[in-house]
A and B are shown apart, each in its own frame.
Chain A
Amino acid sequence: MNQNTKVKEQSQTPTNTLNFDCETGNYHTFCPISCVSWLYQKIEDSFFLVIGTKTCGYFLQNALGVMIFAEPRYAIAELEEADISAQVSDYLELKRLCLQIKHDRNPSVIVWIGTCTTEIIKIDLEGIAQRLEAEIQVPTIVARANGLDYAFTQGEDTVLAALVHRCPEYNKNDSETTQLKHPPLVLFGSLPSSVAGQLELELKKQGIKVSGWLPSNRYSKLPHVGEGVFVAGVNPFLSRTAAALMRRRKCTLIGAPFPIGPDGTRAWVQNICDAFGIESKGLDLREEKIWEKLEPHCKNLRGKSVFLIGDNLLEISLARFLIKCGIIVYEIGIPYLDQRFQAAELALLETTCHEINVPIPKIVEKPDNYNQVQRIRELRPDLVITGIAHANPLEARGISTKWSVEFTFAQIHGFGNANDILELVTRPLRRNNTLDQFNNNYSTESWSNQKNWS
């Protein structure tokens, strides 16, 4: 069966409509429990307890590198053989650990992260949490962020979806809400507070007030949600949170592209204005000014080609922005694509491709890394956005790479941070130029021990 040839033909056939493909799902990504690393920092009075095995602990310890040593507010409840074979009571074990956490750290909320193991041995985390919460008087929520069901950033989605149930009920007659000129707006997605501040300011310029964020930086300050509250997501991987807000709390979701890149930010602000019937002011000019600033980067990027291997669900938004910058995107790999939650983003991708007049890249859901490497070898893109597992081997074969995880941790949202995205994207290209310029004998073509494809 010549699967590779088939795939190659597809990837070289230009299309004018969105084209979705699904492969074997054999790809590298971070385990979704990695979300504790940024969420414990975001929610300052929380404690995250990952209920899993040594494998989970080893991953967190290695993936988060230095971060782990700054007295983290997270820990592993390491399951031992007696837990697996049900020789001890899960309830008593968890009670012992949570009392210890309460005593040592006194958090406002304990978040239990369910893992593959708790799924397989079917520990009733939700049931035990409810019972313990009443007994030890610390709010305890459960998020099943496991590798059986989710990839990397989707971990945050499971935590936020669980937090939705703890948000206080919105009250129409609240003095704060009666003063608003528009229905209350709650944004969801965990962002560094300065980035959140920038997005709030952007909306403020349109006369829109942000009533709250999910998550807020303290558990005690969760936003009020309920019927009549409008919600908008800031990241493409939050589909479960969106669903929970709509179905469980009767909020109205504003479908929009995500505020990544000036084009995305503009569309995001515009869609929120439209939802409130507010006529936007000065958005065109604002976007234009940012593009002017980006021009020096774009000038170097035009005509360059990028291949996104896919591991963090930011891929569609990033590709859309890069295409707008004049880059040719060969393939958008993505772990999981919620076509409803990302509908506006997909539509903007399509429009952007038509506008720039380039074929729409193929979107590959659940990609197969082995096949992708074969396609990369064939296409030789100027840049591959990929996880670390492939980065050094590709660099050794003369393919420039950018580590995809950096896009998750860098500040990439809003008008002000568009430049940072391009800084990330152009860094490997600039590095290679610098090295080649000063040392022709060791240029990418000839540096010692360069690997051949085989």
Chain B
Amino acid sequence: MKLAYWIYAGPAHIGTLRVASSFKNVHAIMHAPLGDDYFNVIRSMLERERDFTPVTTSVVDRHVLARGSQEKVVENITRKSNEENADLVVVTPTCTSSILQEDLALFVERAQIESNSDVILADVNHYRVNEFQAADRTLEQIIRFYINKSKKLSFEKTSKPSVNIIGIFTLGFHHHHDCREIKRLLEGLGIEINLIIPEGLSTTKIPELEKAWFNIVPYREVGLITANYLEKEWNIPYVSISPIGTIDTGIFIHEISIILNKIDPENNINFTEYAQQQAYSTSQAGWFSRSIDCQNLTGKKAVVFGDATHAAGITRVLTREIGVNVVCAGTYCTHDANWFGEQVQGLTNQILVTDDHTQIGDIIARLEPTAIFGTQIERHIGKRLEIPCGVISAPVHIQNFPLGYKPFLGYEGTNQIADLVYNSFTLGMEDHLLEIFGGHDTKEVITKSLSNETGLEWSTDGLNELKRVPGFVRGKVKRNTERYARNEGLNTITAEVIFAAKEALSQ
């Protein structure tokens, strides 16, 4: 057992559901107890999704415990398949169903006979893999399933260079913005987008993946298994560099040119000029870090923590492009520790690989950086220690699903990152100055009660009741109650008077 308050990567089924519900017309059925369908709430809330999340539960309750699921799972699969007219139903095990050890594969086989949809069982073990690993596997599983199914179909490569973007899906950190930015970038290079996987993709289109010249996997966490599979199956090469920051975006573009030249040596493609022009015009980050204001950031201490992709990417940007001193860089993707180590080697004083938030909290407290770049969890650690934090990775809250265009990848991404970094540090500086000069001078005036000489008396129970009112509205409640007491000609304010005042005002 592990004592935990916070967790970084969610349980396996969340990964499976994120992938399944990103495809078009794919329905997921969780084999889970009541209340485990919390995924629907998250998706509807964070993504502000207009459609019903295509996930339902085949409820595991006492009856199931006693007698097994029996017909229930099969019935639920066929029912959903009919109601939703789904192309594919993905049956999703959870931590609960993992230990029940029911033969879900058999149910799936039977449901396949009775329903019009394809049915597959997500091949993930709750106790061995986390959200990201499960998403990675499920994506490959679905792609493989449809490629195997359509063996007879074969597609020619597109006439112009084209690409599949793998790993853009629901609830991903700034995924939609990143996807748009990559598309823009590729358009500038004269490369067509063949398919985006899995966001919005219809399963019937999966065989057409073959048409692309190569694949792009922008995020380390999800898509690599699929890209590897496609390379083996159809000999499609892939680029797995995350274009975070000007330098890595340049490398990303260079890798693409190498692949294209390998496929068609006569083209002799060279993107250097394009990359340079973008780095000077679209991106302001290069100039920004040369500008006088940015000098102040030189050598400032920062701690970076997040998923492998973002933590590595941001560490590289901070050290190589802005001149910030990253005193500790870490990731909670413990399964990818080696890769992470290679990426930040020589760029930080300390590498931390853990999914225990208390360790990170302790390190931040000990190192006292000027700013933190982490997840929402580090943001709250920062709040407690009064250190500003820029959020660069999941887990995230609703404010990390902005409506405005905020990519992290590509050249526009470099601008966003520069803003984020700069704002985090200046806020820290502002705080520091405020402390030196004794805070905002208006504080006293705002909290000063206007009712000091009212001649009103507060009884003990009245005061106790007032103490129960949350601090940020207490002043208002106090003023309202005193006004009410004066109007009613009361001299002593008891708890009863507070309630009466609340009632009187609640119209």
Residues of B within 8 A of A31 (CB): 33-36, 38
Residue of chain A at shortest CB distance from B64: A148
Q: Which of A51-59, A179-187, A427-435 contacts B (4 or more CB under 8 A)?
A: A51-59
With A53-B126, A78-B1, A83-B1 as known contacts, state yes or no: A120 contacts B96, CB within 8 Å: yes
Whether A94 and B1, one on each chain, are in contact in the complex, defined by CB atoms closer than 8 angstroms, is: yes
A283 within 8 Å of B (CB atoms): no
Residues of A within 8 A of B397 (CB): 65-66
Whether B507 and A69, one on each chain, are in contact in the complex, defined by CB atoms closer than 8 angstroms, is: no
Residues of B within 8 A of A58 (CB): 7, 10-11, 14, 38
Residues of A within 8 A of B57 (CB): 26
Residues of B within 8 A of A76 (CB): 3-5, 7
Interface flags, B472-507, vs A, CB<8A=1, else 0: 000000000000000000000001100100110011
With A69-B380, A396-B51 as known contacts, state yes or no: A117 contacts B499, CB within 8 Å: no
A248 within 8 Å of B (CB atoms): no
A416 within 8 Å of B (CB atoms): yes
Interface flags, B1-21, vs A, CB<8A=1, else 0: 111111100110110000000
Q: How far is the CB of B105 from chain A (nearest CB, A)?
A: 20
Whether B127 and A63, one on each chain, are in contact in the complex, defined by CB atoms closer than 8 angstroms, is: no
Whether B2 and A77, one on each chain, are in contact in the complex, defined by CB atoms closer than 8 angstroms, is: yes
Interface flags, A215-244, vs B, CB<8A=1, else 0: 000000000000000000000000000000
Whether B4 and A75, one on each chain, are in contact in the complex, defined by CB atoms closer than 8 angstroms, is: yes
Interchain CA distance A61-B42 in the complex, whole Å: 11
Whether B3 and A77, one on each chain, are in contact in the complex, defined by CB atoms closer than 8 angstroms, is: yes
Residues of B within 8 A of A119 (CB): 65
Whether A78 and B4, one on each chain, are in contact in the complex, defined by CB atoms closer than 8 angstroms, is: yes
B208 within 8 Å of A (CB atoms): no
Residues of A within 8 A of B53 (CB): 389, 393
Residues of A within 8 A of B96 (CB): 55, 116-117, 120
B441 within 8 Å of A (CB atoms): no
Residues of A within 8 A of B38 (CB): 30-31, 58-59, 62-63
Residue of chain B at shortest CB distance from A69: B380
With A117-B96, A120-B65 as known contacts, state yes or no: A57 contacts B1, CB within 8 Å: no
Interchain CA distance A78-B62 in the complex, whole Å: 23
Whether A55 and B48, one on each chain, are in contact in the complex, defined by CB atoms closer than 8 angstroms, is: no
Residues of B within 8 A of A54 (CB): 7, 10-11, 95, 126, 130
A400 within 8 Å of B (CB atoms): no
Interchain CA distance A146-B4 in the complex, whole Å: 19
List which B460-474 residues lie within 8 A (CB) of chain A: 465, 468-469
Residues of B within 8 A of A25 (CB): 34, 59, 61
Residue of chain A at shortest CB distance from B500: A416
Whether B50 and A57, one on each chain, are in contact in the complex, defined by CB atoms closer than 8 angstroms, is: no
Residue of chain A at shortest CB distance from B40: A389
With A388-B44, A415-B503 as known contacts, state yes or no: A151 contacts B52, CB within 8 Å: no
Interchain CA distance A85-B20 in the complex, whole Å: 30
Among B2, B14, B34, chain A packs the most CB atoms within 10 A around the CB of B34
B368 within 8 Å of A (CB atoms): no
Whether B5 and A75, one on each chain, are in contact in the complex, defined by CB atoms closer than 8 angstroms, is: yes
Interface flags, A147-168, vs B, CB<8A=1, else 0: 1111110000000000000000
Residues of B within 8 A of A347 (CB): none
With A68-B5, A370-B83 as known contacts, state yes or no: A26 contacts B499, CB within 8 Å: no
List which A34-86 residues lie within 8 A (CB) of chain B: 51, 53-55, 57-59, 61-63, 65-66, 68-69, 72, 74-81, 83-84
Whether B95 and A370, one on each chain, are in contact in the complex, defined by CB atoms closer than 8 angstroms, is: no
A390 within 8 Å of B (CB atoms): yes
Residues of A within 8 A of B59 (CB): 25-26
B427 within 8 Å of A (CB atoms): no
Residues of A within 8 A of B7 (CB): 54, 57-58, 61, 76, 78
The 8 Å CB contact of A451, one of B50, B130, B383, is: B50
List which A386-404 residues lie within 8 A (CB) of chain B: 387-393, 396
Whether B499 and A57, one on each chain, are in contact in the complex, defined by CB atoms closer than 8 angstroms, is: no
Whether A416 and B33, one on each chain, are in contact in the complex, defined by CB atoms closer than 8 angstroms, is: no
Whether B6 and A151, one on each chain, are in contact in the complex, defined by CB atoms closer than 8 angstroms, is: no
The 8 Å CB contact of A147, one of B35, B76, B127, is: B35
Q: Which of A11-19, A191-199, A314-322, A357-365 contacts B (4 or more CB under 8 A)?
A: A191-199
Q: How far is the CB of B91 from chain A (nearest CB, A)?
A: 15
The contact sample of 23 A-B pairs, CB cut-off 8 A, is A27-B34, A30-B38, A32-B35, A53-B11, A55-B13, A59-B35, A75-B5, A77-B2, A79-B1, A84-B99, A94-B1, A120-B96, A146-B33, A148-B33, A148-B61, A150-B34, A194-B465, A197-B495, A201-B496, A293-B503, A390-B44, A393-B51, A451-B50
19 further A-B pairs in the complex, CB-CB below 8 A; given A61-B395, A63-B41: A26-B76, A28-B37, A54-B10, A55-B36, A58-B7, A58-B14, A61-B6, A77-B1, A77-B2, A80-B127, A117-B95, A198-B499, A293-B503, A370-B56, A388-B41, A389-B41, A393-B52, A415-B503, A416-B502
